Every structure is written in structure tokens, then in C-alpha cells.
Structure 1
Amino acid sequence: MITIISASNRKGNMTQFFANYCKNQLEERGEKVKLFCLDELPNRIDLDEVYNYEHSIFTVIAQHYIIPCDKLFFVVPEYNGSIPGILKLFMDAIKPEFYAGKKAALLGIAAGRAGNLRGMDHLTDILHYLQVEVMALKLPVSKIYDILGELGVVEDKNTQEAINQQLEKFINY
């Protein structure tokens, strides 16, 4: 099973459009997929509970999305030249051994022109520390406002092709 993490908690974020595109493409290829969008986290997070691995909302989420999967597919927007802080908090709040031995792929998105390359490097370092093997093809997608249609659909054919190639490689990874 593959879990897709849409790594923004901003309401109405663009990240979810790319995550949904990936989910649909993987399902069309017969893959079992779950999607977790970080905007589904509670509005108020008790920071004292973050490291209470046994009784936190993060443990419940991990039991449904992280533990049962073999692979993680991260769709990560650029926030201040890196990954969103909520993604780091989310990852920190889950027992490290729940990640160990899994494989991951990274799709970086940005309104600018670098496609969150630096953020994907930062996330790769974190995942390696957690003993997650990261696929070498980390796809940066730039100028996302030019790629998405009015309804949040990934319309750009070159972007669709690049994402589909990454997904095919990830299936066989």
C-alpha cells in the first residue's frame, strides 16, 4: 500500500490538487492508495501531546496511514525555502520505528521556479535519518499557478507526463 502525504495544512492549499492527481493516477494503475492531507489535522494541537506516542492523535493517524503502508509519497510545497513546519511536527510526533524500512518518493511544488528542490533535500535528510529509502528521482514542479486549471486540475501535459513517469518508477521501486 502507498500513503500519499499532502504536506500543507493551509485551508484551500494547492498541494492537495497535486496529491489528488497522484492518487488518481496510482489507483488507475491498480495500486492501493491512501491519502492524508495535513489540513485534516486538528486546528489546535496540544504540544504537550506531540511526544505522547501512546495517546496522541498522531498515533491514531500513524495506525491508519503510516504503519500499514510499504511506501510513502510526499507532495511537498515550498515554505520559506524548505518544507512546511507542520510536516516536520507531524513526522516528529510519530514513533521513528513506524517509518523504518519504508520507501519514499518526493514531489516538490512551488509557485517560483525551483520546485522546492532545497525542501526535498531537507526532507530526504530527515527520511534517511528515519531509515526510509528515498527514490533518487525527486520531481520539482515549478510555477504551479501556470500548471493548474481553474478547478485545481493539473492541466499541463508536460507536468502530467513527468509526474506519471515518477509514479511508474515509484510503483516498481
Structure 2
Amino acid sequence: MKILAIAGSMNPGSTTKQSVKIVMEAAQKYGAEVELFDFREKPLPIYDNRSDDSTYPESVQRFKAKMLEADGFIFGSPEYHGSISGVLKNALDFIGARELEGKLVALVATAGGAMGATNTLNTLSIICRTLHAWPLPSMVSVPRSYMAFNPDGSLKDEKIQQRLEDLGKSLVEAIEIMGKEVRKI
């Protein structure tokens, strides 16, 4: 089982990436092969709706191929102005239902404020459903993310830490169940 993780932040000290890594580690613990697509290391150009996708650089072709071969996803985003980050929205503009249809997605969002990132999670859920993916019903928001982490990368709030770990486990279990159901058809 292959899971592609995307942390929609280019900040070197990204709390979104830290949160996504907790979900990734849990998914790996339950048997998934998980890869992080890092936009700092593999930047994508601005999507411009070209009529010929083959004219985009290799980074776009690699990203689309990784999306297509994945069995499931972990999408994470910081909440910027009440919505998802520009880098994540740009990346998702490069793909369509072909890459996401019928696949499961775990959603994580971080926010600087106490209210968390509910708007970002709702927006990500809408995007996933529009592209025919199945966002897991349990989504995790990390409020006050700038002060939420211990030096070792774990969360100070053990309940949120556990929710992120449970999200990784749930993603693996749901992909396994979905795979068994599809094989029956």
C-alpha cells in the first residue's frame, strides 16, 4: 500500500509538516509505504491551464505520477486567511479526478489561532469530494501550532497527538477495507 503525504507549506520549520509526519509515522507503523512530497525540494511552477500538460517541467510530471500511483493520501495545510495554502491549492490544480477518484484521504490542518483550522479542513474536504476522493470523516486541526510542539516533534497536547496517530492508522485500515471491497466487485 502506497500513501503519498503532502504538507502544503514551504516554511522550513513548518508545523504542518510536523503534523503530517506524525500521521505518516503511524501509517508506516501499520504497514503502509509512505512518501512525503516536499514542495521546498521539488517546487512546482504556477498552474496556468495549458492545453498540453507535457510542456510542464519534470517536477509536475513526477508529482502527477506519484499522485496516480498512490493508494491513498495525507493532505496537510496551514490555515492562511481562512483557507488552504497557495502552494497546496496550486499543486491540487495540476491534478484531477483521474489521480484521486475512489482514493481515501486523511486531512490535517494547522492554525496559529486558538480556533484551529476548521475552514481549511472543510475546504480540503470539498476539494477532495469534487475530485471524487473519499476524505476520512475524522480530520485533525492543530490550534496554536506555533507553540504546540515539543522539541522532539511530538505534540504537547497528548489528545491531539493521539488523534493524529489514530488518523494514520484509520487511513491504512480504510484503504485495506476499500481494497477488499473493490476486489469483490
Mark the runs of 5 or more structure 1 residues left unpaired by the alignment: none
Q: Any residues of structure 2 matched to 1:1-173 within 5 Å, and which?
A: 1-42=2-43, 45=45, 47-48=47-48, 52-56=52-56, 57-63=59-65, 65-150=66-151, 153-156=153-156, 157-173=158-174
The CA deviation at 1:91 is 0.7
Find the aligned partners of 1:130 and 1:78 in 2 and give their Cα distance.
21
Q: Provide the secondary structure at the position in 2 that maps to 1:34.
A: strand
Q: Which amino acid aligns with 1:78?
A: E
Bigger mean CA offset, 76-85 vs 14-23 = 14-23
CA contact (8 A) 2:77 2:84 kept: yes
The CA deviation at 1:45 is 2.3
CA contact (8 A) 1:50 1:93 kept: no
Find the aligned partners of 1:132 and 1:51 in 2 and give their Cα distance.
24
The CA deviation at 1:52 is 4.1
Mark the runs of 5 or more structure 2 residues left unpaired by the alignment: 175-185
Find the aligned partners of 2:89 and 2:50 in 1 and give their Cα distance.
12
Per-residue deviation, residues 119-141 of structure 1 (Å, max 9, x unmatched): 11111111111111111111111
For this pair of structures, how many residues does the alignment match?
170
Distance change in 2, residues 1:133/1:148 (3 Å)? same
Q: Which amino acid aligns with 1:54?
A: S
RCO comparison, higher one (Cα < 8 Å, 6+): 2
The CA deviation at 1:62 is 1.6
Per-residue deviation, residues 62-121 of structure 1 (Å, max 9, x unmatched): 21x211111111122111111001111111112441122211110111121222110111
Q: Which amino acid aligns with 1:69?
A: A
Find the aligned partners of 1:47 and 1:31 in 2 and give their Cα distance.
30
CA contact (8 A) 2:107 2:121 kept: yes
Distance change in 2, residues 1:95/1:158 (3 Å)? closer
TM-score w.r.t. length of structure 1: 0.86
The CA deviation at 1:51 is 6.3
Find the aligned partners of 2:168 and 2:111 in 1 and give their Cα distance.
19
